[in-house]
Amino acid sequence: MTASSSEVHMDPMTPMALLERTVRVFPSKTALVYGELRWSYLRLAEEVGRLAGALRRAGIVRGDRVAFLAPNIPELLVAHFAVLRADAVLVAINTRLNAEEVGYILEHSGAKIVFCDSELAPRVAEVSGGLAANPLLVNIQDSVAGFCDAPLDGPTYSEFVEGAPVLPLSWAPADENDLTSINYTSGTTGKPKGVMYTHRGAFLNALGEMFVHGLGRDTVYLWTLPLFHCNGWCFPWGVTGAGGTHLMLRAVEPAKILQLIREEGVSHFNAAPTVLLMIAEAPEAVGLHFDPVIRVATGGAPPSPTLLRRMEELGIRIIHLYGLTETYGPHVYCEMQASWEGLDPEGKARVMARQGVPYHHATHLRVVDDAMADVPADGETMGEVVMRGNNVMKGYFRDEEATAVAFAGGWFHSGDLGVVHEDGYIELRDRKKDIIISGGENISTIEVEHVVVTHPAVLEAAIVAVPDERWGEVPKAFVSLKPGETLTEQVLIDWCREHLAHFKCPKAIEFAELPKTSTGKIQKFRLREKEWAGYEKRIRG
């Protein structure tokens, strides 16, 4: 029987094709390093095929959800391919959630098997008896880190995969729009929502990461970004497709990061600005300058010009990204223009703090007003950032109402406020819920934060709205200082008044450690809730 032209010229897209190609081209190349553990791509393929076979043997069928609660260890990287190969859906869970939150995700996703790192087992043990799906629990024993217990009532990972058939890598889903994974949002304004990724979207995003970040055969990628966060921004598939090496890191420790950079020849890693600050301020970073330059993507919050300058001093070239869980992580990046290369450090940092332009496969990006009309490209008029295209989620799992709201007008609504510059680059000004409206004037918390952190004693800052009888709300700064530094509230307020219009300046400053998510984002909602407790009107929180 002769194949039709459509069967010849088109295959379903899937990240599995990236692993299959790399195993064919670089079978002996180092795929994974974790402590003394080193796997070739042939070994990685074997581990993927065996886990996929074990999932099938356990009764997993097309569309079933398989959950993992684990840090950045080899088993979770394997799962990013093996669960897909088993025609199932990966649910990688935030390791910093409590038992109640983990229980909600397991219940909502209906996961049939839950793999759990033994250190994190209490989060699952406390809820497993109340889960309607009655999932099989599998203990992951991280012997490299010394966690060898099996506290959950179920087999160990080794026992689960032992003797399972090794499925071949050559495979494609029946439909490229089938799900690869469900990634749950942080749930800061209600129950977390399950964001659905597809084989097609994950494949295209992986290609985008390979191109934008220059991933290749010689890439050594350090896993500082959690694999559970937007499936590691699709880098598990991108680094693999490029034939690079995955350098696994169980926990973010600045001294360990700097050690691995030197010992393993790290070329790339991704991290939120707060993690970059931790690295820059580590005693081990004093006097360091990496050569060749390390390429680092950062997102989650706009990096301040101060931070960008510090990274250049260390020999770290920042690529500033912007996106959301709903866009597979990055949708936009600040592409360097040749004319910017000759700018002084301050000027370069200023333009590189912008979010920029869409990825090549994600061309649709607008900033719109309430009527969905484009705002002028004047760098001043604010509107909501909206997107559509290949790297926008399929929708929210089991939540048609939230999906309809997010896609109102045929575009995905980010909830972020930004401006468009004359050159077409966008710049975020705030989240809708973070913008401060004081006496009718809009105040961008990002703008104020960037000024606060220019003070030499300041490490990090978060600006939130607090109640005010006269103006309705005014800015307040929460500030953490660099080790050994001291600073008074009035000195820092005066510093801000030298650089900002007075109505934008913080009216109060509190020196404290800032609450953060597992990926290093500052949790402004927690600061707001404390300030607005007891008030009838709660601010966008």
- Sole residue written with tokens 């800052």: 461
Return mean pLDDT, the chain: 91
Alpha carbons 54 and 160: distance in angstroms, whole number: 7
Tell me the per-residue pLDDT of 151-181, one tens digit each, with 9 for 90 and over: 999 999 999 999 999 999 999 999 999 999 9
Alpha carbons 526 and 187: distance in angstroms, whole number: 12
Inform me whether the pLDDT recorded for 312 exceeds 90. Answer: no
Residues 455 and 497 reside in one and the same domain: yes
Neighbours of 433 (CB within 10 A): 17
Q: Where are the beta strands (DSSP E) in 142-236?
A: 179-184, 194-198, 220-222
Tell me the per-residue pLDDT of 104-153, one tens digit each, with 9 for 90 and over: 999 999 999 999 999 999 999 988 777 878 899 999 999 999 999 999 99
Tell me the per-residue pLDDT of 370-411, one tens digit each, with 9 for 90 and over: 999 999 999 999 999 999 999 999 999 999 999 999 999 999
Single-letter code of the amino acid located at 170: S
Answer yes or no: is 398 within a domain: yes
Side-chain-side CA neighbours of 201 within 13 Å: the count stands at: 29
Answer yes or no: is 212 within a domain: no
Tell me the per-residue pLDDT of 265-303, one tens digit each, with 9 for 90 and over: 999 999 988 889 889 989 999 999 999 999 999 986 667
Can you give the pLDDT at residue 269?
98
Choosing from 372, 396, 430, the residue where a domain stops is 430
Cis-peptide, bond into residue 292, ω within 30° of zero: yes
Residues 381 and 332 reside in one and the same domain: yes
Residues 411 and 289 reside in one and the same domain: yes
- Phi-psi bin for 472: left (phi > 0), alpha (psi -120 to 50), beta? left
Choosing from 121, 137, 167, the residue where a domain stops is 167
Q: Which two tokens stand for residue 309?
A: 């300058």
Q: Which structural domain range is residue 94 located in? A: 23-167
Residues 96 and 130 reside in one and the same domain: yes
Alpha carbons 343 and 337: distance in angstroms, whole number: 11
Side-chain-side CA neighbours of 294 within 13 Å: the count stands at: 29
Closest CA to 124 of 101, 148, 158, 157: 101
Q: What CATH number is given to the structural domain containing 256?
A: 3.40.50.12780
Q: Which two tokens stand for residue 324?
A: 């959301």
Answer yes or no: is 518 within a domain: yes
The DSSP call for residue 409 is G
Residues 310 and 397 reside in one and the same domain: yes
Residues 313 and 448 reside in one and the same domain: no
Alpha-carbon distances of 250 from 16, 158, 222, 408, 541, rounded to whole Å: 25, 19, 11, 40, 32
Alpha-carbon distances of 476 from 495, 515, 527, rounded to whole Å: 14, 15, 10
Alpha carbons 295 and 291: distance in angstroms, whole number: 11
H/E run at residue 478? strand 472-481
Residues 267 and 407 reside in one and the same domain: yes
Alpha carbons 277 and 281: distance in angstroms, whole number: 6
Residues 396 and 448 reside in one and the same domain: no
Answer yes or no: is 5 within a domain: no
To the nearest whole percent, how much of the chain has pLDDT over 90?
A: 74
Q: Which residue has the higher pLDDT, 437 or 460?
A: 460
DSSP string, 306-331: HHHHHHHHHTEEEEEEEEEGGGTEEE
Can you give the pLDDT at residue 539?
39
Beta bridge partners of 442: 437
Residues 281 and 375 reside in one and the same domain: yes
Sign of CA dihedral 364, 370, 374, 375: negative
Q: How confident is the model at residue 6 (pLDDT cuts 50, 70, 90)?
A: low
Choosing from 395, 430, 465, the residue where a domain stops is 430
Answer yes or no: is 245 within a domain: no
Answer yes or no: is 361 within a domain: yes
pTM: 0.86
Residues 335 and 469 reside in one and the same domain: no
Can you give the pLDDT at residue 540?
41
Q: What CATH number is given to the structural domain containing 137?
A: 3.40.50.980
At 444, phi and psi to the nearest 5? -80, 120
Number of domains in the chain: 3
Triad 49, 55, 59: Cα angle to 5°: 140
Residues 391 and 443 reside in one and the same domain: no
